[in-house]
Amino acid sequence: MAAGLRAVRRWGLVVAPPSLAFTRSAFVVKKANNAQPNWLGVGLAFGTSAALWALLIKQHNEDVTEYERRARAHKCRQCS
């Protein structure tokens, strides 16, 4: 029910006066604790980056190999 009312207000079908008294934030702001980093998040970030770089280098090497294979097989009189 509440989601339907929010959608009606969002689309402008009902004009309601702006009131901040009943709004709540879904996020809580708290001070960052630098003494205890989030090692799971750090590991996931670096692991994802390393995996993407590995895939990029692997794909590049495959592309270079394919290019060289096609260049050796290409025999036309205009190119030589």
Residue pLDDT, tens place only, 16-69:
555 656 667 777 778 878 899 899 999 999 999 999 999 999 999 999 999 999
Average the pLDDT over 1-25 and give the result: 62
Distance set, CA 23 to CA 1, 6, 26, 69, 79 (Å):
17, 12, 10, 64, 71
